[in-house]
Structure 1
Amino acid sequence: LDHGGRVLRVLIEISEQTLDEAFQVADGIETVLARAGIRRSILLHGENATVWPFVERAAARNLSTRVGLEDGKHLPDGSVAAGNAALVAAAVTIYRAGRLRR
């Protein structure tokens, strides 16, 4: 059965930690979705080494994203976040800057 019409958002969650490999896998998933005709909102989600590069990519491509301590405990500058609020605030700053560049 094809349940694509019931899907509201597609989560692309990458566990690869090498950026080139992670971007390649994410791009591959997006390509497969496009070829299949699935046109849904995408939430791009990384962990540890890919958290901030994926937040930047999501902002540049107008995709959804999410961050939290379960994804990585470091802020973009490498310091340890005081909590989820600090991670989210950093992501919002990146996302807003990315939207301004478009």
Structure 2
Amino acid sequence: MPDESTRRMLLQACLNGAREVTAHPGLSADATLAAADAARAVAAGAQAVHVHPKDAEGRDSLAADDVATWVRALRSACPGVPIGVTTGAWIEPDVEKRLTAIAEWTELPDHASVNWHETGADRVAALLLSRGVGVEAGVWDATGLEAWSTSPSRAACTRVLIELPDEAAEVVRRHAEGLIAHVRIDEPSVPILLHGEERSAWPALTLAVEIGVDSRIGLEDTLTLPDGRTAPDNASLVRAASALVHSR
């Protein structure tokens, strides 16, 4: 049986990311199809969902109508499951326009990720918190770590996402443990979610299980199962991750 710390580990499904919907058959610009996919991922073991709402052309969107459509669809398909969205600056590089878009949201997610290396991160986080939306602090590198560590919103964050780039498995531990150590110096009690992308996705998840922090998996981060086969869908990725969690 897994120990108590393993049972408490949060496993989040990251459904789509900024990938083109043509990158995998399991990706879609249709919120209803994505919501059904999310429900299967939850049934496979995910306890939370992170999604990038899309517009009609399949592009990431911060527009109120798009966010409302996607959040409503996922809430309907996954009742009681926390739903999070992105606020990535690549969607709207202009900080003022990004803030205006978020201020216009009518269907609020449970939380939203804010990348602290991006211009305007403090203002985006403050706006989300003022609207009752939790903040997942995305920390990719030393620049983001320094910005988050001096942020007035630091202690109010729901969790810190330690996000590793597409890098070789042998550097994952050193990279992750260095960032985690600094986060724990600043905020010892903040939950940490460690994840990677592409080559680092499964090594990061395995390390998260080992050291007892939260993690995530899904088509945003990787299209392949641990054995290298292409994953049919998000549920298959979550199922493989759950097996790793419960094997410890």
- TM-score under structure 2 length normalisation: 0.37
C-alpha displacement of 1:16: 4.3
1:10 aligns with 2:160: yes
1:40 aligns with 2:178: no
Q: Which moved more, 1:87-96 or 1:35-44?
A: 35-44
C-alpha displacement of 1:83: 0.7
The Cα offsets for residues 38-58 of structure 1, whole Å up to 9 and x where unpaired, read as: 421110011111111111111
| Residues 18-97 of structure 1 aligned to structure 2 (within 5 Å) | 18-97=168-247
> For the residues of structure 1 that align with 2:163 and 2:156, how far apart are their CA atoms?
20
**Secondary structure at 2:160's aligned position in 1?**
strand
From the two aligned structures, give the one with the greater helix fraction: 1
Q: How many residues align?
A: 98
> For the residues of structure 2 that align with 1:63 and 1:2, how far apart are their CA atoms?
24
**Secondary structure at 1:20's aligned position in 2?**
helix
Q: Give the aligned CA root-mean-square deviation in angstroms.
A: 1.5
> For the residues of structure 2 that align with 1:13 and 1:7, how far apart are their CA atoms?
16
Does the aligned pair in 2 maintain the 1:16–1:22 contact within 8 Å? no
C-alpha displacement of 1:2: 2.8
Letter in 2 for 1:95: V
What is the percentage of aligned positions where both structures have the same residue? Answer: 33
The Cα offsets for residues 10-49 of structure 1, whole Å up to 9 and x where unpaired, read as: 1000104122333222111111112224421110011111
> For the residues of structure 2 that align with 1:56 and 1:39, how far apart are their CA atoms?
22
> For the residues of structure 2 that align with 1:60 and 1:27, how far apart are their CA atoms?
12
Q: Which moved more, 1:41-50 or 1:21-30?
A: 21-30
- TM-score under structure 1 length normalisation: 0.85
The Cα offsets for residues 36-91 of structure 1, whole Å up to 9 and x where unpaired, read as: 24421110011111111111111112211111112111101111111111001000
Report which of the two structures shows the higher radius of gyration computed on alpha carbons.
2
Instruction: Show structure 1 runs of 5+ residues with no match.
Output: none
Does the aligned pair in 2 maintain the 1:4–1:38 contact within 8 Å? no
